[in-house]
Amino acid sequence: MIYAMTPFTPELARVMTPRAGDLAPILFWKHFRQDSAGQLAATTASFYREHDLVAVKLMPDIPILFEDFSLNSFRPLRHLRSFGDAVQVGRAGEYLRCVELLRRQLEPSDVLLATLFSPLGLVGLWSGQEGVRELLREPRASAHEVLAALGGLVAQLGRYCLSAGADGIYYSCWGQDVLSEQEYSEFGVPYDLMGLRGAQGASVRMLHIHGGLHHHVERYAAYPVDAIGWSEQESSVTLVQGGSALPGRIMMGGLSEVTAAMAGAAERSHVLELQGRLGDRLLVAPGCSLPDEISPAALASLRQLVRVAAT
């Protein structure tokens, strides 16, 4: 099944309109490692304005339940079979508060994206690849119950983010390079789609495929999103190949998260090549989050890659 895209919403059209003096629209992001709602909102707004980006991407630096990679096994997740109101789950309420505070610091025309993880992505974020493999060793019914509970939570969080002022959802899914094709079809895809239900009312829907993408890019044609991106550095599937397999979708990429600190002529040449192949379906972006420690000078160099006068 191929998801049929609707015409661009005004918000998506703004994201895909280059800033004055730019060759293409550009968006990049990094973690700020601030888990105070007020601080994270203020820093995010400042970063957006400083680099004149086409959208504001709120990073998930306020953990919903567990800190990143804080669990050394899947065992603590076995009890996650049901949740109440998402606002009462862990620190989800603080993340939603950050969305509200950030919205207040932006102009009405600024496009705000809230970042969410897929259910399998959350398992991987909290317990790593081994945690995901442990999930597969659970009784099948139990594994599905955990993922379904997380899917419902993610969907509810998406709806709350939109109610709090987000225009769109940046949805990060993961596991396609850890599980076999059959395993991901059973434990990944259905719960990716379950979590994405919370983005149904979003004006902008972006899908980030975390990790390496080496085959079956066409599966994402069924995902109800407008833009899709992944790391070309970690993958054997290129964005040009993705553009052919995913007709009508915006391709996010062109910037290397690996060599971001040394962006130069080769990186600009790649952006220009992608633009020539993908045309107005290209959103220039990194394949993943930029390094936390990236310097202001490196960020300025990345921003310069799409400037008309760049050399």
Within 8 A by CB and 6+ apart from 174, the residues are 117, 118, 120, 121, 124, 125, 209, 210, 211
Q: Is the pTM of this model over 0.85?
A: yes
Position 304 pLDDT exceeds 50: yes
Half-sphere exposure of 176 (CA within 13 A, CB side): 25
Give the pair of three-digit tokens for residue 163: 């109610």
Read off the pLDDT of residues 208-243 as tens digits, 9 standing for 90 and up. 999 999 999 999 999 999 999 999 999 999 999 999
Within 8 A by CB and 6+ apart from 247, the residues are 2, 221
Domains annotated for the chain, with CATH where assigned, are 10-304 (3.20.20.210)
Read off the pLDDT of residues 56-97 as tens digits, 9 standing for 90 and up. 999 999 999 999 999 999 999 999 999 989 999 999 999 999
